[in-house]
Structure 1
Amino acid sequence: MFNNWSELLPTIQKAFGALGKSNPKMVKAYMALGEAAAENEVLDAKTRELISIAVAITTRCDGCIAAHTDAAIKAGASREEVAATLATAISLNAGAAYIYSLRTLEAYDSLKG
Structure 2
Amino acid sequence: MFDMKNLSRLKKLDENAPEAMKAFWAFDKAAFADGALTGLHKQLIAVAVALTTQCPYCIELHTKAARAAGASDAQLSEAAVVAAAIRAGGAITHATHVLT
Change (3 A) 1:43 1:12: farther
For 1:98, the aligned partner's letter is I
Normalising by structure 2, what TM-score?
A: 0.84
* Higher radius of gyration, 1 or 2: 1
Count of residue pairs the alignment pairs up: 99
Determine the C-alpha separation between the residues in 2 that align with 1:12 and 1:78.
28
What is the CA distance between 1:74 and its match in structure 2? 1.0
**Residue aligning to 2:37:** 43
Determine the C-alpha separation between the residues in 2 that align with 1:48 and 1:13.
22
What is the CA distance between 1:37 and its match in structure 2? 2.3
Does the 8 A contact of 1:12 with 1:63 survive in 2?
Answer: no
Q: 1:81 aligns with which of 47, 52, 75?
A: 75
**Residue aligning to 2:9:** 15
**Residue aligning to 1:97:** 91
**Residue aligning to 1:71:** 65
Does the 8 A contact of 1:55 with 1:89 survive in 2?
Answer: yes
Identity %: 30
Question: Structure 1 runs of 4+ off > 3 angstroms?
Answer: none
Normalising by structure 1, what TM-score?
A: 0.75
Determine the C-alpha separation between the residues in 1 that align with 2:6 and 2:72.
24
What is the CA distance between 1:87 and its match in structure 2? 0.5
- Structure 1 vs Structure 2 CA RMSD: 2.0
